[in-house]
Amino acid sequence: MGILLVYDVTDESSFNNIRNWIRNIEQHASDNVNKILVGNKADMDESKRAVPTSKGQALADEYGIKFFETSAKTNLNVEEVFFSIARDIKQRLAESDSKGAEPQTIKINQPDQGAAGGQAAPKTACCGS
């Protein structure tokens, strides 16, 4: 129901793989699957950073998905990412439920309008008695 696309901000090749992963998602996952782009290792020294925040945000904007930078080491934004995708999934499911067809109901003790030219079927006792 949700996919986190995680790359390492100190490894440009992991960032470059995101487009391939998104293509795979488009080919094999549900059309409406929630996605979030996550740049991990945001705690690393700027001198080790290979992917600037702006580049990650630009890619997320291109695909219309949310973007976070996290640090699994320091727990920066980790909870926020999981809560965000959970909220998005919950919202999507609630919206799809409200757009669905009229709820299926069974009407008890209602005459069948299609039987006998619109006349009510004769009432019988339960279990053939």
Any domain includes 21: yes
If you search the block for the tokens 């293509």, which residue do you land on?
23
Any domain includes 116: no
Any domain includes 78: yes
Which CATH number characterizes residue 14's domain?
A: 3.40.50.300
Any domain includes 102: no
The confidence score (pLDDT) of residue 99 equals 78
**CA 23 to CA 65: how far, in whole Å?**
14
**CA 96 to CA 77: how far, in whole Å?**
28
Q: What pLDDT tens digit does each residue of the chain (129 aa) get?
A: 999 999 999 999 999 999 999 999 999 999 899 999 999 999 999 999 999 999 999 999 999 999 999 999 999 999 999 999 999 999 999 998 887 655 555 556 656 555 455 555 555 555 655
Structural domains counted in the chain: 1
Any domain includes 73: yes
| Domain boundaries, position 17 | 2-97
Single pTM value for the model: 0.76
Any domain includes 114: no
The confidence score (pLDDT) of residue 122 equals 54
The string of DSSP letters for 24-55 reads HHHHHS-TT-EEEEEEE-TTS-GGG--S-HHH
